[in-house]
Chain A
Amino acid sequence: GAVVSQHPSWVICKSGTSVKIECRSLDFQATTMFWYRQFPKQSLMLMATSNEGSKATYEQGVEKDKFLINHASLTLSTLTVTSAHPEDSSFYICSANRDFLYEQYFGPGTRLTVT
């Protein structure tokens, strides 16, 4: 298979605090992982591309200092939402594709609620 996990599955935090979300590829190595965000009744929007051992590439309009991405190993990428605000409340989903394949396999998502 191609299993991707995320942790935590949901988190509630207070405004101004930081939250870290982990994305792991469980049965394959992923040199590239992707982070998406989905607002209610909206589509998934690509936030950034995470490359193992190098800096992430952010999409236009996504603040790199607010959404810190670290891809420290071939099976783990983390997204840290810094100084979270209520407007950051969303469903965050990561994905990865196996080497030489173009299909992306998604994690189960993380529901972030900022109060």
Chain B
Amino acid sequence: EAEVAQSPRYKITEKSQAVAFWCDPISGHATLYWYRQILGQGPELLVQFQDESVVDDSQLPKDRFSAERLKGVDSTLKIQPAELGDSAMYLCASSDLAANSYEQYFGPGTRLTVT
């Protein structure tokens, strides 16, 4: 079964450092999402891509976060500089909107700890 790949699975960084996460969606899925999930809460959408274009980044803290999907396939989410409050699970998901389906398939996530 096809899966969404993410790396690294775990990242520990000091505050003020830069950190980057990578996501490879299920092949053929044009829509890609990045979520942040703080412990004890549900995932919150940070950014949505349709192919290489940003559909919605209204919840992305753009002073420190950036996301790109240059070729419309894999994607990178960057934080610079990291702050203590950024400690969370960062989840990537993809979906096939052409299939008229709302189902999003999530990757295993990157657990970030900022010290």
Partners in one complex: no
Q: Which residues of B contact A (CB under 8 A)?
A: none
